[in-house]
Homo-oligomer: A and B are copies of this chain.
Amino acid sequence: MAARTTDGNGVPVPQRLLAAATRLFAERGYDRTSVQEIVEAAGVTKGALYHYFGSKEDLLQEVYSRVLRLQQERLDAFADADAPVEERLREAAADVVVTTIDNLDDASIFFRSMHHLSPEKNKQVRLERRRYHERFRALVEEGQRTGVFSTATSADLVVDYHFGSVHHLSTWYRPDGPLTPRELAEQLADLLLRALRP
């Protein structure tokens, strides 16, 4: 609205800051990114940053909130769909891979910089993550209860196993690899489903 909060291309200052911070945090890590670099990349001054964000840490938390919100929404949609549980799980398991690849910056920040948050903020983020984990686990349990999935391994462990791999994508995924993100996602979902065969 206010003329001064956007630049030529019309993106509001807070978004510009968030985008710059995301890219830089992923590129060189939270501690190695200076506030000065962020404001320069966003084309504003320090005063502006501290006008919109209380601290550098707040910026990090915003990055987290954004990605968590996105993933939770998508998971809820897949889980609530009207389809057999094995299909719903497969779709959800594949989707988290695709969206992780689409937001690889956020993902790498997430798992490398979470310990930089203050205890209380850390706690809040963990809570949100927990909710996400629970929803996914519920799907596995549903399948186990209905006999579609093996009960050899606890649902908790299965979920941690799958997410561990997904979270590590930022380490080993290569855009120039032989598979498209969607193909890769389907293969990983397939691995999960095969492991769950009774």
Contacts and interface: CB of A to CB of B under 8 A. Distances in A.
A175 to B, nearest CB: 15
A163 B164 CA distance: 8
Interface in A143-192: 150, 152-154, 157-158, 160-169, 171-172, 184, 187-188, 190-192
Majority SS of interface residues in chain A? helix
A169 B158 contact: no
For the side of the interface on A, what is the size category? 35 or more
A25 B149 CA distance: 40
Interface stretch (A61-69, A82-90, A111-119): A111-119
Contact of A169 (B152, B164, B171): B164
A152 B115 contact: no
A37 B51 CA distance: 15
Interface stretch (A4-12, A27-35, A38-46, A72-80): A27-35
Contacts of A188: 157, 161
A152 B195 CA distance: 13
A121 interface: no
A28 B115 contact: yes
